[in-house]
Amino acid sequence: MNPANASLEKDLDAALRCIREDVRAAHAYPVASSAGMVKLDVMENPFRLSADLQRQLGERLGAVAINRYPAEGTQHLAAALARHAGMPAGCSITLGNGSDELITMLSLALSRPGACVLSPEPSFVMYEMSARYQGLKFVGVPLRADFELDGPAMLAAIAEHQPALIYLAYPNNPTGNLWDAAVIEQIIEAAPGLVVMDEAYQPFAASDAMHWLTRYANLLVMRTMSKFGLAGVRIGYLIGQQALIAEIDKVRPPFNISVLNAEAGLFALEHADVYAAQATELRAQRARVFEALCQLPGVQPYPSQGNMILTRVPDAPALFAALKARGVLVKNSSAAHPMLRNCLRITVGTPDENQALLAAMKESLGS
């Protein structure tokens, strides 16, 4: 071996030892390559803006002062999102670079020795990842076999672990279902700390957790513009009592929302009717795909209030590979949790994308 290379390798080994052992043992969040594929794996809104709106947005973004740090634009976006969401009186809002950053901010704000984060499982993986990376204990409480909240188990875990933070995804990811409102209220009332209702999929659901903010001081509602139709823009927002948001906002990185993203968010809210029509179409497509999946042999789709359908199949890894070979990319959720064995998570796409999915499913199952 070249002496210079040997020295470099030795120095690299020393540098790597500076990284925490739990981080080195972990796996990065997987993002599959989708070039040339029908992309139905990460719950994006598949519809692009019309050519006219693309032109208008381009002109807006071209006029933004990108030589300046974000300031008023972010404040304007926060105010517009508060109006759009129907934020109750006495509440405030803070923004994150997607919901992921908000989850990190919550973990950072609550990180102290012995603090615990609790969530039903299976649910969004970032709840656990963020908690553990901030040195917080994480407790997962299994859902019932029908993917409903296990109320007694949740209340018992709250009593035992006294969590500083509880996450309730509403609808849940990846199961797509809404949970019983009475059980949710029992959990909020029993919680010794904060409860976050994660409404990432609210545009597609017959739900709205915002009304609970007027009843529970320890509740926060988290939403994102990603499912609204701006996954590439990365804007999440958190709403709760003013005093709570003021404390969480202290750990928000300065200038975390770029001027271009803020302007794109404002533009989208000015055309909210366009995105509402897209959500209506996706709900109709969800019903169509669900009914078609029900007709396939050995396939069990679960009812969903999101823009995805969790589907149990005879052999998820094999079917995932067969679909991919036919140019259709979905999410193989089998390894994410024991309750998801042989489950695929299928994003609802455009009519043409959904047709391609169903055709590939029939061919793959038939072969």
Same structural domain, 264 and 288: no
Q: Does 95 lie in the same domain as 206?
A: yes
Spatial separation of the C-alpha atoms in residues 355 and 367, rounded to whole Å: 18
Residues 295 and 235 in one domain: no
* Element containing residue 128 per DSSP (H, E): helix 125-133
Name which of 298, 270, 289 is nearest 348 in CA terms: 289
Residues 232, 283 within the same domain? no
> What is the predicted pLDDT for the residue at 24?
85
Q: What's the CATH code of the domain at 195?
A: 3.40.640.10
Q: How far apart are CA 135 and CA 258, in angstroms?
A: 29
Q: What total number of domains does the chain contain?
A: 2
Q: What does each of the 367 residues of the chain score in pLDDT, given as a tens digit?
A: 576 677 888 888 888 888 888 888 887 777 777 788 999 999 999 999 999 999 999 999 999 999 999 988 799 999 999 999 999 999 999 999 999 999 999 999 999 999 999 999 999 999 999 999 999 999 999 999 999 999 999 999 999 999 999 999 999 999 999 999 999 999 999 999 999 999 999 999 988 999 999 999 999 999 999 998 999 999 999 999 999 999 999 999 999 999 999 999 999 999 999 999 999 999 999 999 999 999 999 999 999 999 999 999 999 999 999 999 999 999 999 999 999 999 999 999 999 999 999 999 999 998 7
Pick the last residue of a domain from 219, 242, 271. Answer: 271
pTM for the full predicted model: 0.93
Is the domain of 157 the same as that of 239?
yes
Determine the pLDDT at residue 133.
92
Q: Is residue 135 one of the residues assigned to a domain?
A: yes
Same domain, 222 and 362: no
Nearest-angstrom CA–CA distance, 94 and 223: 11
- Boundary-marking domain end, from 234, 251, 271: 271
Q: What single string gives the DSSP state of each residue in 46-58?
A: -PPPPHHHHHHHH
Cβ pair 107, 133 in contact under 8 A: yes
Parent domain of 12: 3-50+273-366
Q: State the Cα–Cα distance between residues 66 and 306, nearest whole angstrom.
A: 35
Q: What is the CATH number of the domain that holds 308?
A: 3.90.1150.10
40 and 73 part of one domain: no
Measured between alpha carbons, how far is 131 from 108 in angstroms, rounded to an integer? 8
Residue 148 lies inside a defined structural domain of this protein: yes
End-of-domain residue from the set 271, 295, 330: 271
* 353 domain-assigned: yes
Residue 182 maps to a domain: yes
